[in-house]
Amino acid sequence: MSTIIETVDVAVPVSTAYNQWTQFESFPAFMEGVERIQQLDDRRTHWVTKIGGVTREFDATITEQIPDERVAWKSTDGPEHAGVITFHRLNDRETRVTAQMDIDPEGFVENVADKLGVIDHRVKADMRRFKAFIEENPTPTGSWRGEVDAPGQVPPTH
């Protein structure tokens, strides 16, 4: 299993960066190899990727989501991976976005790509493309401000 960490500073407020990241169906606009994502409900997404000529379909579950702070997920089938994206307010107009992903490549081609640093390079490039995407289009394509509690966490009472 490989762990990849990448950080970019984006010139938009934290809520703008977070709101855009919750629009999973827009990921193909800045993620290389992501053909399509379908949001099935508040917690589940279905992905179609094509990397190195290999098409994969899998589902992922959002395991935690806190507005303007973090979005975490874990695959439920297909290639094993999990990750978290965190959002840190630098000032009123800048946000630090950090991706941490744990990926367990599946199959010979993906294992070779991992060993050669291709997957690490792709995640880093995707984060740079997210920066360009959000700075060129500073109005998010949508937003979802609901929360998803981490497993075993008791929701706060108001």
| 43-85 tens-digit pLDDT | 999 999 887 778 889 999 999 999 999 999 999 987 788 999 9
Q: Are the CB atoms for 32 and 126 separated by under 8 Å?
A: yes
Instruction: State pTM to two decimals.
Output: 0.84
Share of the chain above pLDDT 70, in %: 82
State the Rg of the chain over Cα: 15
78 dihedral zone (left: phi>0; alpha: psi -120 to 50; beta): left
CA dihedral 87, 33, 122, 63 (to 10 degrees): 40
Fold of 2-136: Alpha-D-Glucose-1,6-Bisphosphate; Chain A, domain 4 (3.30.530)
The residue extents of the domains of the chain are: 2-136
The predicted-structure confidence for 114-138, as pLDDT tens digits, reads as follows 556 567 788 899 999 999 999 998 8
Both tokens of 55, joined, read 């098409």
What is the total residue count of the chain? 158
Helix or strand (DSSP H, E) at 121: helix 118-136
